[in-house]
Homo-oligomer: A and B are copies of this chain.
Amino acid sequence: MTAKLDPEDLQPVAGGGLLHRRLLLKSGLVLATAAAAGSTHAASDAPAQKITEDLASPSWMRTPGQPFTTYGKPSKYEARVIRSIGANRDLPSNGVSWTPLESLEGIITPSGLHFERHHNGVPEIDPAQHRLVIHGLVKQPLMFTVDSLLRYPMQSHLIFIECGGNSNAGWHEEPIQRPLGSFHGLVSCSEWTGVPLAVLLDQAGIDPKATWVIAEGADAAVMNVSLPLAKLMDDAIVALYQNGERIRPENGYPLRLVIPGFEGVTNVKWLRRLQLTSEPVMARNETSKYTELLPSGKARQFTFTIEAKSLITSPSAFQKMFGANIYEIRGLAWSGRGKVAKVEVSADGGKSWAEAALQEPVLSRCFTRFRMPWSWDGSPAILKSRATDETGYVQPERDVLVKERGRNGYFHYNGILAWGIDEDGVISHVYA
């Protein structure tokens, strides 16, 4: 943070006023970002003001503050930053809750805001009663208590988990108008720690005929899925900890199968059973769900790996602009195939692109935060971001994705997201 701003730095590097990402490493630049809807901040406020107000001590400096707490919680002034719930009317324990991505920063999702997908509610599991069983094509079926698993060697993965149904409003004919997190927020990023599954499977002894593993949860839907044994041997863990502490109930307490890069439904919560087999079980969630009937008449199935995706979190719908000004465009990118190699941003609807700055550390299968300086002149603009991962895979435009996949599927949407900004600074989700 040493170099000062040079007038040349303010020359656009792409259409619509995108500036070079090196600006973010310079000082002397005043930027505006969109504010959340309902912000107390007046749109006309300058980012900094000369001191004009009375600086007398506020009330909270004149009396002792609140006492110590054994477990903290957010400020009451942040009570609106919550998961939004979308559940089945007839079966309210079946549904989702969304991470408010537009209100968060950095790459960690606080565990209390990690998205949820439940098929029949959150079981309240007594860890002393819970068991994990490994059976099927093994030499010796085994049963583990939770306490016994705590004694095995552990590994941590700082990774995203994304529901295969995230962003499925992208398949709609018309762009949905909601806050970002409420249609793209079935994705969150945590540090997961637990026992490498390979250690447990080797202890049971794998029959050479085994190629699949059927994983089952201890919820009242008895959720199950089939998973390729080779991937589980490679890097899956039986997770006991999320973001340092034991996993929260809604994220699988006391045990969750965590498979880096694989779609959410495969990361079985409340894990209770792993059956080694020679073929998949063809469970509901791998036949009627999480598959796509393609225009060719063939169906995509077992497409476990999350493909590269990115989202601009600010500016985004229901936030507001502060007039013609310099902004920091902010967003998240991720890929189930490895690291994000680059994120490009467009301010002219995709006609031209420029590379965004990536916040370090850039980790495999983890959220990557990107930032881009942008000089908005107040005229209509269309913002897009496009992720490329280390395998060379490039996030597709929506029309390309729809043409390739057709309209029969409802999962695995990773098309480029576009925000339209009009001359009043109103931000809408657009197809462009």
Given contacts A104-B244, A328-B154, contact A131 B74 (CB under 8 A): no
Does A7 lie at the interface of the complex (its beta carbon under 8 Å from any beta carbon of B)?
A: no
Please name the residue on chain B nearest to A121 by beta carbon.
Answer: B65
Residue of A1, A35, A118 contacting most chain B CB atoms (<10 Å):
A1
Give the residue name and chain of the B residue nearest to A204 (CB). B48
A246 touching B93 in the complex, CB below 8 Å, given contacts A60-B220, A241-B106, A371-B154: no
- Minimal Cβ-Cβ distance residue in B for A5: B202
A40-B147 in contact (CB<8A): yes
Interchain CA distance A27-B236 in the complex, whole Å: 13
Tell me if A296 counts as interface (CB < 8 A to partner B).
no
Proximity string of chain A (70-111) to chain B, C-beta cutoff 8 Å, 1 when within and 0 when not: 111111111001111101000111011100000111111111
Number of interface residues of A (CB under 8 A): 143
Q: Is the CB of B33 within 8 A of A150?
A: yes
Q: Does A180 contact B (CB under 8 A)?
A: no
Interface of A is mostly: loop
Residues of the B chain whose Cβ atoms lie less than 8 Å from the Cβ of A222: 57, 61
Among A137-145, A301-309, A390-398, which stretch is in contact with chain B? A137-145
Q: Shortest CB–CB separation between residue A345 and chain B, in angstroms?
A: 14
| Interface residues, chain A, with chain B CB atoms under 8 Å away | 1-2, 4, 24, 27-33, 35, 39-41, 45-53, 55, 57-58, 60-78, 81-85, 87, 91-93, 95-97, 103-114, 116, 118, 120-131, 133, 135, 140-145, 147-156, 158, 190-193, 196, 198-203, 218-220, 222, 233-235, 240-241, 243-246, 248-251, 253-254, 322, 327-328, 330, 359, 361, 363, 369, 371, 373
A143 touches B40 (CB 8 A): no
CB-based contact B74/A246 at 8 Å: yes
Whole-angstrom distance between the alpha carbons of A85 and B68 in the complex? 7
Q: Within the complex, what minimum Cβ distance (angstroms) separates A92 from chain B?
A: 6
A107 / chain B contacts, CB cutoff of 8 Å: 156, 191, 244
Q: For residue A74, which residues in chain B have a CB less than 8 angstroms away from its CB?
A: 71, 245-246, 248-249
Contact check, B219 vs A60: say whether CB atoms are below 8 A apart.
yes
Min CB–CB distance A158 → chain B (angstroms): 7
Closest to A142 in B: B48
Give CA–CA (A250, B251) in the complex, Å: 26
B121 touching A66, Cβ below 8 Å: yes
User: Within the complex, which residue of B77, B110, B123, B361 is in contact with A111, where a contact is CB–CB below 8 Å?
Assistant: B110
Q: How far is the CA of A209 from the CA of B103 in the complex (A)?
A: 40
> Complex Cα distance A97/B110, Å?
21
